[in-house]
Amino acid sequence: MKTCCTVTVSVLLAAVFMQVSCSSTTMKRVTKVQVSGFDWKNCGQPDAPAVLKSLAISPDPVAIPGDVTASASGSTSVELASPLAVNVTLEKEVAGFWVKVPCLEELGSCHYEDACDILNQLIPPGQDCPEPLHSYGLPCHCPFKSGTYSLPQSDFYLPYMDLPYWLTNGNYRVQGVVGGGAKELGCLEVAVSIHSD
- Domains in the chain (CATH in brackets) are 7-196 (2.70.220.10)
Instruction: Give this prediction's pTM.
Output: 0.82
Q: 10-55, pLDDT tens digit by residue? A: 444 444 444 444 444 455 555 688 999 999 999 999 899 999 999 9
Burial of residue 178 (CB within 10 Å: 0-12, 13-18, 19+) is: buried
| pLDDT grade for 4, boundaries at 50, 70 and 90 | very low
Average pLDDT over residues 54-79: 93
CB 157 within 8 A of CB 65: yes
Q: Are 68 and 156 in contact (CB under 8 A)?
A: yes
Query: What is the reported pLDDT for 100?
Result: 96
**Average pLDDT of the residues in 72-91:** 93
Least trusted range by pLDDT, from 19-33, 68-82, 100-114, 155-169: 19-33
pLDDT one-digit tens code per residue, 116-173: 999 999 999 889 988 888 887 678 899 999 998 888 999 989 888 777 777 778 999 9
Per DSSP, the three-state class of 71 is strand
For residue 50, what pLDDT is reported? Answer: 94
- Residue 150: enclosing H or E segment and its boundaries? strand 147-158
The identity of residue 127, as a single letter, is Q
